[in-house]
Chain A
């Protein structure tokens, strides 16, 4: 089975990470910001898996499972904050948080 060269995997991970980061910076909607953070986390997870495959070690996949658990926790907290934010100002604009005194 011809394996995909691991550089390709890393490049995809880097591209995903960059897209996610750009999203975090440019999107004002907090829901999308959270989505973009998820994309960045998955980019990191992809890099782990690729690296695990490269050295034929299970550690990379173990790390990905950790990442999933962490991402779930992060989303739970993040969505709760988002709901709270929305409940106060009826908006999801990240810049509007500033008016609350940071």
Chain B
């Protein structure tokens, strides 16, 4: 099948865009930067779509097409090559990365218009998309690791995009260092696989591992656990989740693309890709499910008390990734990828909608200072509402509904601890609904809380506080300007609308059986991932499970309304201890600070004059001493040199004779 031999250009296009923008520096006009930045990703999407169509129309017999570009390293029996694989899994990932990526790039051309470093932003974004494509298209773990580190680098660069605020730099470093813990774990897993199986090719690993490693053997468990470590770091799951809320320091499109839709799902992709190894280590696979469901609840509860709009969404991302891990842990591989896809739709819509809100509010992130936005920017409100329905799995939006209920149904069917997972998952559905509708009610409902809701600060300062509280009475110039800024505009509006459509119809990729049953995506994915081992739920059981899950979800809405009403009435200056505990993400930051950061800083402070350095300083000082002692011998007097040679010769002769 040579019709796919050009797929190397899919990752090459964003890389070319990155190179053009990086070499051009800031010299391009903003329009040109935008065309290069968004255009390269758009072309990559077209290429990916064509490749997917070709792949789907005439799938190769083995289920995967591999394009070997060249040999990367050849040392002994270790021969990784630069090679891309197109199979069902990578096709789906490619489409999500380039499709959602392009929409977000398109949105960014307007969102970032007033920012410094416009072309720098698009250079980083293109580099990210290229690395992510490398990650999902790689046919061996080493190339995947290259993409893995590439996206980590871009995440770091983009979190710290507004580098003039040291706090953003700190967040970027935190994200980089915490994910590094996982990356090291992944690297060790690579070493173990390479030394034990002699190959890093996914196909080779699958073949060799099943042949050489019995189920539950120590090496299989070690490798799977280390891979899990890598996935946990990248996907911000317990216990390496602390970096994600801080990663929200970056611009909103970055949060949408990297920290919601694509990069954080790399861990899910990794586990799905190496599913053979996890099947060989059932204990680790159970751990995946436990980490997942714990993440759902821990992050979900934290999301219900956040004040920063983006932190709500960050915790929500962790919680949704938890569902994906749960699906992986119970062996519903395709279900996890399905949820990954739908999550990419609704979470990027949420983030982009939040971006519009944040721009409208003069970069205000505190939701308690917002309010009443539904009347001022109805378009954004509706888009946000659709996304909220999708994430809370409420019809008529089908995206979250189909994928989440699929995972929960599989959890019910998986036996063992499956029923417990199901029950906790239902609790998670309720929590999801609470936090997302709390956000909707506080931000869009009621009336504006602060004067600057909808007008520039200068205009707000001029208005007396009483007038500011009652918005909409006076039509000053500031108000007119404010009205303008409240709207998303066409360039930011089109991606929102397209994502909203995807949220509405995304679920048709895999409707449950009792509602017609259109498991297109799942069947397609079975070309690359093993089928689920648990029995298919009967239509009747499916319906019952859906009703329970819908009830939990719908129950969340009035609860959220009550919470929002209380918050709107009186904003407590100091919140209760349990709330603060949740708000700070269950104290994980405090724990790590106490366990690792403080001791490290303490050691660094005590050891400011590095102990080990003393040794090397000593060697240097000794040499300096010798140099001083013998400096006078190099006098330039030839006769002294001759005498020295003679004396030395005499000494040697004497030594030879006497000894």
Task: Point out residues on A near B: beta carbons under 8 Å.
Answer: 21, 24-26, 28, 33, 94-95, 97-98, 101-102
Contacts and interface: CB of A to CB of B under 8 A. Distances in A.
A95 B643 CA distance: 13
B494 interface: no
B636 A25 contact: no
A25 B635 contact: no
Given A25-B642, A97-B638, 13 more contacts: A21-B642, A25-B639, A26-B639, A33-B639, A94-B637, A94-B638, A95-B637, A97-B636, A98-B635, A98-B636, A98-B638, A101-B636, A102-B634
B539 interface: no
Contacts of B505: none
A95 B639 contact: yes
A95 B637 CA distance: 6
B642 A24 contact: yes
B203 interface: no
Nearest to A18: B646
24 contacts: A21-B642, A21-B646, A24-B639, A24-B642, A24-B646, A25-B639, A25-B642, A25-B643, A25-B646, A28-B639, A33-B639, A94-B638, A94-B639, A95-B637, A95-B638, A95-B639, A97-B636, A98-B635, A98-B636, A98-B637, A98-B638, A101-B636, A102-B634, A102-B636
Name the interface size band of chain B: under 10
A96 to B, nearest CB: 10
Interface in B612-659: 634-639, 642-643, 646
Prevailing SS type, chain A contact patch: helix
Interface string B166-177: 000000000000
Nearest to B644: A25
Contacts of A33: 638-639
Contacts of A25: 639, 642-643, 646
7 smallest beta-carbon distances between A and B, as pairs: A98-B636, A102-B636, A25-B643, A24-B642, A94-B638, A21-B646, A25-B639
Contacts, number: 28
Contacts of A98: 635-638
Interface string B239-254: 0000000000000000
A48 B636 CA distance: 34
A77 to B, nearest CB: 15
Nearest to A21: B646
Contacts of A26: 639
Contacts of A24: 639, 642, 646
Contacts of A95: 637-639
A102 B633 CA distance: 13
Nearest to B646: A21
Contacts of A21: 642, 646
A24 B643 CA distance: 8
Contacts of B639: 24-26, 28, 33, 94-95
A28 B638 CA distance: 10
A33 B637 CA distance: 13
Nearest to A99: B636
B237 to A, nearest CB: 70
Nearest to A101: B636
A98 B639 CA distance: 11
Nearest to B647: A25
A94 B639 CA distance: 7
B261 to A, nearest CB: 71
Contacts of A101: 636
Among A24, A25, A97, the most chain B Cβ lie within 10 Å of the Cβ of: A25
A102 B646 CA distance: 20
A33 to B, nearest CB: 8
Nearest to A30: B638
A31 B487 CA distance: 100
A101 B636 CA distance: 7
Contacts of B636: 97-98, 101-102
A26 B638 CA distance: 11
A25 B647 CA distance: 11
B168 to A, nearest CB: 58
A28 B639 CA distance: 8
Contacts of B635: 98
A26 B637 CA distance: 12
A98 B640 CA distance: 11
B652 to A, nearest CB: 15
A95 B639 CA distance: 8
B595 to A, nearest CB: 62
A21 B638 CA distance: 13
B277 to A, nearest CB: 69
Nearest to B640: A25
Contacts of B642: 21, 24-25
Contacts of B637: 94-95, 98
A25 B636 CA distance: 14
A62 B498 CA distance: 101
A20 B636 CA distance: 21
A99 B89 CA distance: 80
A18 B220 CA distance: 80
Nearest to A28: B639
B126 to A, nearest CB: 59
Contacts of A97: 636, 638
A44 B634 CA distance: 29
Contacts of B638: 33, 94-95, 97-98
Nearest to A36: B642
Chain A CB within 10 Å, residue with most, of B635, B636, B638, B646? B638
Nearest to B643: A25
A94 B642 CA distance: 12
A26 B642 CA distance: 10
A102 B639 CA distance: 12
A102 B637 CA distance: 8
A94 B634 CA distance: 15
B638 to A, nearest CB: 5
A24 B644 CA distance: 12
A97 B635 CA distance: 11
B61 to A, nearest CB: 80
A38 B617 CA distance: 49
A24 B646 CA distance: 10
A93 B643 CA distance: 17
A21 B636 CA distance: 19
B256 to A, nearest CB: 70
Contacts of B634: 102
A98 B635 CA distance: 8
A33 B642 CA distance: 10
A22 B194 CA distance: 71
A15 to B, nearest CB: 15
Contacts of A28: 639
